[in-house]
Amino acid sequence: MSIFKGSGVALATPMKENGEINYESLEKLIEAQIEGGTDALIVCGTSGEAPTLEDDEHLKAIAFAVKTAKGRVPVIAGTGSNNTAHAVMMSQESEKLGADGLLLVTPYYNKATQDGLYVHYRKIASSTALPCIVYNVPSRTGTNILPETMARLACDQENIVAIKEASGNISQVAKLAALTDGKLDIYSGNDDQIVPICSLGGIGVISVLANVAPRETHDMVMACLDGNYEEARRLQLKALPLVSQLFIEVNPIPVKAALNMQGFNVGTPRLPLTELTAEHKNSLRKAMEDFGCL
């Protein structure tokens, strides 16, 4: 059974000036997302700056999201790591905190073999009863999980139920869909490929765009799932200039600037990420104004 269908927001983590997590702003973000039609909250992923969160604050943020959501939408915890044992620990702790699912990024830097990826994911998934989403983003991790490996995992591990596909390779997504034949939920991991991936059988997106345009992102996916591809295409093409600006510097630098423009007071990213440049702020603001989310 799917964890969710539709738009899952890859939620940014608000920070205070002293670098601590701003829970007042996080609550406002979560409420705005639910009110805006977002179908799931993905917390402490890449957009949530997981690499610079200490374990205790990472888990505290997950617990806070679960408490704030109150079961209205699923909360999916980012617990992936390039250290399998660490991912197991974070996954088990997130299950205790009431998370509804896990997002597990492909191990980064180690550059595991396909067999290593298979064992890694089975080890994590078998340590928890929660449904697991594999996150394939080779541009950030240096490793691509192949369709054959994902098909093997979907067949052999019952609670590996989905993939967030951010390879950018539509041919790879098509092969994955063919090999898994409905046994694996596919979410777009790229906001400029929501409609193409849904046309191949995908059921949604895990989205950066949804941070600033939750209703439009939700509506785009639902138009696809309802078979209204003319409307879905219109929304996808309308969003492209804004999506481009949201990745004009490495994520989540631009989306935090965008949320600040919307008044959410999310602060700046933690080092080594820095604040969006003034030039890029101007182009981002224009794209948001043109899109109608500012």
DSSP 3-state of 78: strand
Average pLDDT over residues 176-188: 96
| 3-class DSSP assignment, residue 146 | coil
- 138 closest CA partner among 112, 175, 177, 101: 112
Tell me the percentage of the chain whose pLDDT exceeds 90: 99
Catalytic site residue from 135, 187, 256, 281: 135
Supply the pLDDT for residue 1. 66
Residue 105: how many other CB atoms lie within 10 Å: 25
Catalytic residue among 109, 118, 123, 164: 164
Calculate mean pLDDT across residues 178-189.
Answer: 96
Say what percent of the chain tops pLDDT 70. 100
Mean pLDDT for all residues in the chain: 97
Could you tell me the pTM of the whole model?
0.96
Sign for the pseudo-dihedral over CA of 7, 77, 165, 241: positive
φ, ψ for residue 108, nearest 5 deg = -105, 155
Residue 252 preceded by cis peptide, ω within 30: yes
In order of start, what are the domains of the chain with their CATH numbers?
A: 6-227 (3.20.20.70)
Distances (CA, A) of 252 to 9, 70, 163, 177: 13, 26, 21, 29
What is the per-residue pLDDT for 2? 86
Q: What is the pLDDT of residues 111-166, one digit of tens each?
A: 999 999 999 999 999 999 999 999 999 999 999 999 999 999 999 999 999 999 99
Residue 135 is a catalytic residue: yes
Helical H runs in 138-213? 138-141, 147-156, 170-180, 194-199
Q: Is the model's pLDDT at 42 over the cut of 70?
A: yes
